[in-house]
Structure 1
């Protein structure tokens, strides 16, 4: 066999490169060469015929041993098979207690274990809470001032606020100041729910305007001018009358919500009045959370309803 170079030798090589059993060219056989050990007897050539006879006899002896071992192995295997057959027969016969052991009840040890199967059809995604608060056709949960603004107090990030008066009206323009009244009416406002909270001399009224669709609420928020009318009562005196207050607006789904925050003593609000800004942020966040909670509750109910 050639591997891109000279042919590999067909016999093992001596140290020096000459093959065993061959003589170097141009030399005499070893027994005709001068004795390299003067005074010592040259080694005698082996009796090659006797060695061949001994090798043949050894091969015959090994062959007899192999044949005998094979016969013995066959007997042992036969005995094992016979024992297994007898034991198998005993398993199907009546036992010592007179009962018959059933056969075929256990699965063969080599049989594959059935693997679980899974449906290739993906389950439908869970309902989106925002879908339920974006269209009046889906948003069917009861809506009230107490539902949006429950309890007598609320706490946002460790800041407690005491709830004052609440109100609900379908005359949206009547609870707005400036241009906001006409904006609410023009965009189809169905209802406005208000609540007032107070903390450390700062009062905040939040008004949630309800529309039929998300598009209407979004337009009202984007066009917002003026503000929601402050709601006094239930321990809260008039505020944000003939003074400067902080007004904000936002929307989610079919709801737009507006806040008006100021001091209960009539002080003007400036950009340095962090307490007023914080109160406005807290009530705006609370309103957002309450509206979104409506959607989440209705989505959860829809997911668990039969046929959904």
Structure 2
């Protein structure tokens, strides 16, 4: 009980510091900066503005609702990060957690406070964006290009900042040389980065688009696309063999009946992978660390 009281008192002290000195704390040299910057504080949500440098423009509504459910049950496990900006705050990272918290009507959110100028904000937003798992290849490439154009980083410096090999960065950047129609196809998930890397080797835009149409119409694999590109460069043609369609296994009635119960319990659409003879695996998806911990708690 004493420990909880102490924690609440600390929270009141920092909250008072926010209200009394908020506009004056804008650099590490300012009075009381050491007491505020570097601390995790519950901040009023309406005092936080989104990051104008955020390269991410689309947030999956279903995933946000799932995260909101997790936050409602477990709270915000990982605080968002904000920078001090006058008498308000601006998001540095954690916009999904911020949006999900607003979605369930939370009035405050735990936040780690730091100081950062506009260039640092842009760099942090871009680097964090690159580290996400759900980006399409063109989004990654555009983030790399913005780091080059707006932060003036070399590919070697980017390699160190984002922890990726320089050759990996180069491969992403080359995708931006593809025709915009093909780039859109990659963003929409019609073809993979492997398809794009194969098409980069085709110099003529019309030839690129011809192969792109074949990829879509015939559902070509990366290997088949590479064969088409090689044949084009060799001045010949190649017969594209259709992919072998795997034999589908009929889902037993007892599985279909149970899936709905599983899905309702875990708050996700649960899938199964069947191996025949009433055998298979149950697959439970998760969309964030918070979501994973929520599911883990359900299984305890």
Give the TM-score normalised by the residue count of structure 2: 0.21
- The structure with the larger Rg is 1
Q: Which has the higher strand share?
A: 1
Q: Which has the higher helix share?
A: 2
